Amino acid sequence: MSTTTPQLDLTPEERASLAKMSTTGRAAANAKKRLTSPWASFFAVVLAVLWTIPTFGLLLTSFRPELLIKTTGWWTIFTNPELTFANYQTVLSTEGSAGLGNYFVNSFVIVIPSVLIPICLATLAAYAFAWIDFRGRNFLFVLVFALQIVPIQVTLLPLLTLYVDAGLAGTFWPIWLSHSAFALPLAIFLLHNFMKEIPRELIEAARMDGAGHVKILFGVLLPLMKPALAAFAIFQFLWVWNDLLVALTFAGGGTDVAPIIVGLANLSGTRDTAWHLLSAGAFVSMIVPVVVFLSLQRYFVRGLLAGGLKG
C-alpha cells in the first residue's frame, strides 16, 4: 500500500493509525471477497473436516470400552456415550505386552542428546565455514551440503556392523550417534545461512576489540542465533521423536532402549485389531510432538521456510 501524496504533517501516531486503517481496509476487502464466494468457504470447511475426521475418530475410540469398540463404530458414541480411561492405563503401564511406559521414557532419553549434539557440532562447523578463511573451504562446504541427499538407508547396514564390533549394540549410543551424524549436513547448512546474514561490521568491530574466534562465536553470534537454533532444534526433535527406521535398526524391539514409535509399531504388528490399545497408544505417542509443535509452531515454520528439506 503506497500513498502517492506525501503526508508531511503527520505525527507518527497518526501515521500508524493510517497504516492500521489500510490493513483493516484490506481485511475488510478480504472479508467481502470471502462473503461473495461462499463456495470458497464451503470447500475450505470440507477440506478441514476431511483432514480432521480420521484423527478425531481415533481419539474418541481411545476413550471407549474395548467391547464397544469391537462391535460398534465410534460415531455411535453420541447415542451411547460410555467412556473409560482403561485403555490409557493399559498402554501407559510399564508391565505387560501392551505397556508402552518404558518405551515412552526411552523416547525422552533418545531425543535430548540427539538434539543437543548435532546443534553444538553444527554451530562450530557453520562458524568455520562462515567466518574463517581457509583453503578448500568452498569445496568442503559443498561436500557437506551434498551429503544432505544421501538416504540414510545407504548407511544402516555397515553402521550396524560398526556398532556391534565396538560393543555398543543394545545401548543408547548407536541411536544418539546415528541421529547426530544424519542431522549434521542440514544443521550446518541452516546455521551457516543464518550466520552469513549477520552484518560483517559486527564481527569486524569485535575483532578490533581483540576478540578471538571463540569469543566472537559465544559473545556476538550465539545471542543472535537463537531463532535459527530454535528452528533447527524443533525440527530435529520432531524428526527423532517420530523416527522409526533408525530406531528399529539400532534398538531392535526390546524395551531397554527402543522408543515409543517402535513400541507402537510392534503393537500394531502383533495386536493388529486391538483398537482399544492401538488408539490409546497412538495418542500417547502423539502428545509430545503435538504439544511441542503447537507451542513452538512459529519457529518450526521458519525452519521449514529456511529450507529444512530433510526426509
Judged by CB under 8 A, the chain residues 28 through 67 that form the site for other proteins are 30-31, 33-34, 37, 40-41, 43-44, 47-48, 51-55, 57-58, 61
Nearer to other proteins, 58 or 86 (CB): 58
Nearer to other proteins, 21 or 53 (CB): 53
Residue with cell 461473495: 36
Nearer to other proteins, 17 or 52 (CB): 52
Cβ atoms within 10 A of the Cβ of 77, count? 17
What is the C-alpha separation between 252 and 250, in angstroms, rounded? Answer: 6
Cβ atoms within 10 A of the Cβ of 116, count? 14
From the list 88, 189, 241, 250, which residue makes contact with other proteins (rule: CB under 8 A)?
Answer: 241
Cβ atoms within 10 A of the Cβ of 33, count? 10
**Which of 172, 171, 169 has the alpha carbon at shortest distance from 160?**
169
The Cα-based distances of 19 to 2, 30, 197, 269 in angstroms read 10, 17, 29, 58
Site pattern 87..126 for other proteins (x: CB under 8 A): ------------------xx--x--xx--xx--xxx-xx-
How many chain residues interact with other proteins (CB under 8 A)? 112
Q: Shortest distance, CB of residue 155 to other proteins, whole angstroms?
A: 4
Nearer to other proteins, 16 or 214 (CB): 214
Which positions from 115 through 174 interact with other proteins, judged by CB under 8 A?
Answer: 116-117, 120-122, 124-125, 127-128, 132-134, 137, 140, 144, 147, 149-151, 153-159, 162, 171-173
Of 82-90, 195-203, 225-233, 240-248: span binding other proteins (CB under 8 A):
240-248
Using alpha carbons only, give the angle 50, 242, 57 rounded to the nearest 5 degrees: 30
Asked whether the beta carbons of 163 and 174 are under 8 A apart, the reply is yes
| Per CB under 8 A, 7 contacts other proteins | no
Using alpha carbons only, give the angle 255, 167, 176 rounded to the nearest 5 degrees: 55
Q: Shortest distance, CB of residue 190 to other proteins, whole angstroms?
A: 14
| Per CB under 8 A, 251 contacts other proteins | no
Close Cβ partners of 121 (under 8 Å, ≥ 6 residues apart): 180, 184, 187
